[in-house]
Structure 1
């Protein structure tokens, strides 16, 4: 693939779509297309990487007697505005081409913490053109994301998922293919479907370290907390779908709160580092320029912030936003805000607190507290992680909506999850 693509240059943008860039407009970076284009009656060209000839490719064309005109030949070639990444490869059927474009423009953009020129998710598509398992996996992810975005109930994602699983099964029984990059990439894409309610997921998350005070090195919370948050999310869905009676709702919420309390890590603990899906744990160590004791203190504080946010998250599942926090939940809120001061910046564990800031921020009313949370968002934005900006947008919308209702505007209070769905950010903070 390297030899095939070496004469080509990938052209990428930051926060603006190609159409807004061309017309010098302020782009809102909306998905799947920006609202600025919609308001101007323009077709949004998306945010995906585009291909253009590099100087090496240009030189070879000239030597072969061909010429290539460009508005600017002194520096990097101007982007070809309507040439998305797939036009460099053989055509797909219309539906598959549409979902492949959606994968390139949107899925790849949020697939990594920081979208950049070397985003490997986009470069899976050229490989997928000749690999059915990988292509169907990419199409399944794109179709699932698009269906959720449009709030439609079609079976496109299921169709591609079944095809990809069949292709993958054939590869897994072939010793020559089981360890190939295509097999691994297909499994990676299928894992990103994010179906949290599948029965196989709970046993996978139960394979946690025996050491109770173990912190997940990726999430920053207790290794036992992701499973509880998954159960809480399923409880929220069951309530929305009317599947449970009030007594069962309260019983399940109380059980979750009890298990969340059991994940507490004391301030003087010597925690271990592990992963939610693994039984082994490693001794704690620091390697980013902080003293080990300071890093341990921040890691414990971060894990405890997650625990307090989880308590409030479960509480709000059965109590609407118009109901005040109970004394216990109010204590969790104040404890979490106090612990935030022990994680002063986004170095190390503090990089993972975006979800917590949303949960805690929705409970804050005063301008002083809101300003503090906003300053914490600014620190996270320095990492270049796009999801932090979406988290801040959700929280700001929650605050704005609440303030408008207090001023007498018509409307009802809503949970931050409902706000997230209303403004189209559901795929970011699931």
Structure 2
């Protein structure tokens, strides 16, 4: 992939940002009859939960709920329609079962209504994963990669044998090779979207193959050159992947990310800014990369020398001060913005599904957003302490307080819906400092619940946590092997989020 990218021209036109996808059109039942009786033009007594007429005729009562209203197959696009209206009409026809094979329609609905929600810590109005669909209408590689993710995830949640995702994955890969060999198509945003979906597919499946696709993303960005007009959501997607790659394996490989993140400063906004992709403060990804740099220094040549140790302590002290400065009040009302967006784009309000699905009002959900980002901040404090002080030094009072506060905030978050679903790395960091049986059991409960998401990387996190605990117990609650080293020894080249 990287070799193909290097042969493409970097000076090609760049398309505009992604078009928004329309929400489903709801068709309420205003007749007072169940849908089955309406379809049969028969009388209905309106009994709940199912009408007696259907029971008498031994047929399934379809109930009285809202149904989706879709345009018919003959509804075309008028030549008088505006481009936006034409695109919206095209999207609706595409999602309609009459516009797709039933299988692909089902998988696309699974992507829209399931995957795009839990892939983000906070679902928001212009969810970037849903906004990939207009591009997928035009690019078969992107469409096939989305189908591969949806098919693999559906099989896991339904506990069936996955016979579909491999086919879509091969189709996406073959098409991507053709795209990258053509300078005209190589730099389209749909090409980057396809590559990122392939990364996501492998991460979901707990496979280390995500790294080869991610190396291709890095090469693509080098070929692209100036990324100032790159879609903000894709910047945030890449920023999240790079910071997590660095924190998990010490291999942040995309230098552009640091420049993107340097633009995120909420000090003058009057309100804290939270990134909806990872669910942490917009300041945190940059601080995470600084922590990764500190870790790499501690693992590099000459790290045991007095000069390097003094440098590590000084950098660690400054970094901890920045992390403390990034704290936010749990009662704050944060804004949402994608990390890496130089314009500081503030996104629209939360989608109704985010708050209503958890039975929360807006203010309560805001508090939970703040709790989520504070857990990341506490985990980063623990991470930096271990980088600076090593593994055999007991936690100081400040860092022990961070661990305790993280455990205090965790029960405020849902186990698998949105907030709480992206905490894999933070759970490993906090759990690695835990000896109390009741706290370990609580962490196990979190891992078990995350398995319900149908993504294998959560199983990797659970396996890693249990192995760290086993080694700590064998050495009387001390361990001179970090969880990063355990990952390498077990050949767990995975992301934890």
TM-score tier after normalising by the smaller chain length: 0.5 to 0.7
User: Per-residue CA shift, 1:247-293, capped at 9, x if unaligned?
Assistant: 10001111111111111110221111111112122465352213112
2:379 match: 309
After superposition, residues 405-420 of structure 1 pair within 5 angstroms as 405-406=475-476, 413-420=480-487
Assess, with a 3 A threshold, how the Cα gap between structure 1 residues 232 and 199 changes in structure 2: closer, same or farther.
Answer: same
- Report the CA distance between 1:223 and its aligned residue: 0.7
Of 290, 294, 299 in structure 2, the residue corresponding to residue 240 of structure 1 is 299
User: Per-residue CA shift, 1:98-132, capped at 9, x if unaligned?
Assistant: xxxxxx9xxx889x988774586554212034334
**Larger RCO (alpha carbons 8 Å, 6+ apart):** 2
Alpha-carbon distance in structure 1 between the residues aligned to 2:330 and 2:437: 30
Name the Cα RMSD after superposition.
4.6
**CA contact 1:208–1:275 (8 Å) conserved in 2:** no
How many equivalent pairs are there? 307
- Report the CA distance between 1:361 and its aligned residue: 0.3
2:328 match: 265
Of 361, 381, 385 in structure 1, the residue corresponding to residue 431 of structure 2 is 361
Aligned residue for 1:341, secondary structure, equals: helix
**CA contact 2:382–2:429 (8 Å) conserved in 1:** yes
User: In the alignment, is residue 127 of structure 1 matched against residue 168 of structure 2?
Assistant: no
- Report the CA distance between 1:399 and its aligned residue: 0.6
2:10 match: none
> Structure 1 unaligned runs (5+)?
1-5, 10-103, 151-155, 173-178, 180-184
After superposition, residues 246-395 of structure 1 pair within 5 angstroms as 246-278=309-341, 279-282=344-347, 285=350, 287=352, 288=354, 289=356, 290-395=360-465
1:402 match: 472
Aligned residue for 1:215, secondary structure, equals: strand
- Report the CA distance between 1:421 and its aligned residue: 1.1
Aligned residue for 1:385, secondary structure, equals: coil
> Structure 2 unaligned runs (5+)?
1-100, 105-143, 157-161, 246-250
Assess, with a 3 A threshold, how the Cα gap between structure 1 residues 215 and 198 changes in structure 2: closer, same or farther.
Answer: same
1:218 match: 277
User: What is the TM-score of this pair, normalised by structure 1?
Assistant: 0.59
**CA contact 2:273–2:335 (8 Å) conserved in 1:** yes
**CA contact 1:113–1:387 (8 Å) conserved in 2:** no
Alpha-carbon distance in structure 1 between the residues aligned to 2:240 and 2:278: 17
Assess, with a 3 A threshold, how the Cα gap between structure 1 residues 360 and 422 changes in structure 2: closer, same or farther.
Answer: same
**CA contact 2:328–2:370 (8 Å) conserved in 1:** yes
Assess, with a 3 A threshold, how the Cα gap between structure 1 residues 249 and 297 changes in structure 2: closer, same or farther.
Answer: same
User: What is the TM-score of this pair, normalised by structure 2?
Assistant: 0.52
